[in-house]
Amino acid sequence: MKIKSQKDFWSGLMFVAVGLGFAWGSTNYSFGVAARPGPGYFPFGLGLLMAVLGGVVLFNSLVVETEDGERVGAFAWKPLLIIVGSVLVFGFLLPRLGMFITLPLLVVMSASASDEFKLKEALFNAVILTVGSWAIFIYGLNLTIPLWPELGAATGG
């Protein structure tokens, strides 16, 4: 058996797996009866329906001819890891080190995901964005965001 559309094959598999997962998870909650549906009623039905549709996608991917096999293609690992990584680092460090350290770090780190990365430009961009964010979010909208590393006092807002 040959896969005729890789994209559909994998997405079909994803729909089946996630649908069954949700349906299986819903068995932990009371199903109720049709006249008195419990918390598990709706997700169970939805999960099964999604798994069925996933099955249709999967079936089609093995049967319906496509011109180029609809290959998924290589993953862009570098941007994927850097972008997601810099968001995680931002989330971890912001409450600890404050915006004035974390935000420039986010800007420079994420900028390095681009093929056209130049450190000087990224630093320049970081300064502008940090000042701009301060002006919009702290000065303008009065949001409470930690600004500096917490050494007992000094939080912004």
Partner 1 sequence: MELFDNLALGFQTAFTFSNILWALGGAILGTLIGVLPGLGPVATIAMLLPSIYSLDATPALIMLAGIYYGAQYGGSTTAILINVPGESSSVVTAIDGYTMARKGRAGAALAAAGLGSFFAGCVGTIVIAAFAPPLTELAFKFGPAEYFSLMVLGLIGAVVLASGSLVKAIAMILLGLLLGQINTDVISGVPRYSFDIPELTDGINFVAIAMGVFGFGEIISNLGRPAEHREVFTKHVSGLWPTKQDFKDGFPAVLRGTALGSILGVLPGGGALLSSFAAYTVEKKTRGRPGEVPFGQGNIRGVAGPEAANNAGAQTSFIPMLTLGIPPNAVMALMVGAMTIKGIQPGPQVMTSNPELFWGLIASMWIGNLMLVILNLPLIGIWIKLLTVPYRFLFPAIMSFCCIGLYTLNNNNFDVYLAAGFGVVGYLFYKLGCEPAPLLLGFILGPMMEENLRRALLLSRGDWSTFMSRPLSAGLLLAALLMIVVVMLPSIKNKREVAFQDAD
CB of 120 to partner 1, least distance (A): 12
Task: Determine contact, residues 126/108, Cβ cutoff 8 Å.
Answer: yes
Nearer Cβ to partner 1, position 1 or 37?
37
Nearer Cβ to partner 1, position 144 or 150?
144
Q: How far apart are CA 134 and CA 104, in angstroms?
A: 12
Structure-token pair, residue 81 = 């890891």
Nearer Cβ to partner 1, position 152 or 157?
157
Q: How far apart are CA 123 and CA 67, in angstroms?
A: 46
CB of 130 to partner 1, least distance (A): 8
CB of 106 to partner 1, least distance (A): 6
Nearer Cβ to partner 1, position 2 or 36?
36
Measured CA to CA in angstroms, residue 129 lies from 49, 102, 117, 135, 156 at distances of: 46, 12, 17, 10, 17
CB of 101 to partner 1, least distance (A): 14
